[in-house]
Structure 1
Amino acid sequence: MEGRGTLSDIYQSSKRLLLRTRDGLEKLERYEIPSSNDLDSPELTSSLKKDIAHIQSLCIEMDRLWRSVASKPQRDLWKRKVEQVAEEADSLKQSLDKHLLHNQKRMQEAKERAELLGRANGDSAYVLRIFDDEAQAMQSAHNSSKMLEEAYSTGVVILSKYSEQRDRLKSAQRKALDILNTVGLSASVLKLIERRNRIDRRIKYTGMVVTVIVVYAFWRWTR
């Protein structure tokens, strides 16, 4: 097994394993569908797991050895080197786990697609019903959107008509004020005319009542 010896020898062995693991992981991540010309993906995955586990075991060994270094500066230096190797090993392990999880998800999706296709071949009505339901949902959403657009358009037209009417009323009001100003009629004159009209109406109604009374009295007297 690699890595047994002095601290320096074990460190060099761990660095070689790190390099080999990085290269293997990059090759594994390039696999989408393993071909017969390449190393089988499960075999490469197993090799990478072993290398990472080996690096981690070397880190444990180096962690024990650097503590026995006599010189403090050398101890601090070896401590940083060992920690760096351990961090790189952890990073590679996380990348491998992430790749395996992604690959597992991809295989599950492929399996589900195959099952769906098999179900479609065995029962096409099931798949057609799914498509019909989706089509109906899309049509319903389209109709709702169309109704909202029509309601919005109607509201815009109504508000536009109200605005036009308001503008016409304002215009008529301005014309009426202009006419009054032109004729020169003041508010007091208008009130006087209105009061005279009321008096004339009262005189007219009073005359009508008196006339009716007189006619009725004359009719009663001549009977």
Structure 2
Amino acid sequence: MAMAVEGGGGGDLSELYSSSKRMSLKIRYDLERLERLEFSSASSSSLSSSNAVVPGSSDDQATAIRRDINQIQSLCADMDRLWRSISNKPQRDLWKRKVEQVSEEAESFRASLDKYQSRHQKRVQDAQERAELLGRANGDSHVLRIFDEEAQAMESVRRSSRLLEDSFATGVAILSKYSEQRDHLKRAQRKALDVLNTLGLSNSLLRIIERRNRFDKWIKYAGMIVTIVVIIFFWRWTR
């Protein structure tokens, strides 16, 4: 979670950064789900006499992902404008690195999506060519049967994906609440440290508090990892 920044637009910058990170998490999940759908479709097709591809759902998902990537890049443009207005140089440099990381991540997402769409387009083209050959060899009824089998396999994958989406939405809501609570705790901690500094407590006590803060951070990361593992386990169990 982005920390508050003193000076021009710090609050807005923190909000934009939080939004971009949540959207990055969603895009990463959507890309993985799209690749799982691609893998499941290819596996199901390999069991039949053709690798026919049914377009539609995956194209819509890819379009939605690209729209989200464009939105992240728009947020990056806004954040780039805001961090330049921060007067404190260390904080300005920190936000510069954060915005650059988000921007690089968005470019990585775009490259992955482009690769997926290239593979998908090739599969569609190959399927159309095979369908034409099969249609000339065996008649239209055989081609329709192949597409029907593929459609059934895709529907089964979509049902599993919907269950996983519900689990993911729950996980995102939990992480969002946890991030809000952590933000409140950080503000309270800063106030407490100010009070301690005012009272002139020793550096050793301050170091103990800092170590406790790092320990809490590891607990947060462990909670995130456990949440992701539970989601993956639930997805595999429902397949």
Q: What TM-score does the superposition give when structure 2 sets the normalisation length?
A: 0.45
**RCO comparison, higher one (Cα < 8 Å, 6+):** 2
Q: What TM-score does the superposition give when structure 1 sets the normalisation length?
A: 0.49
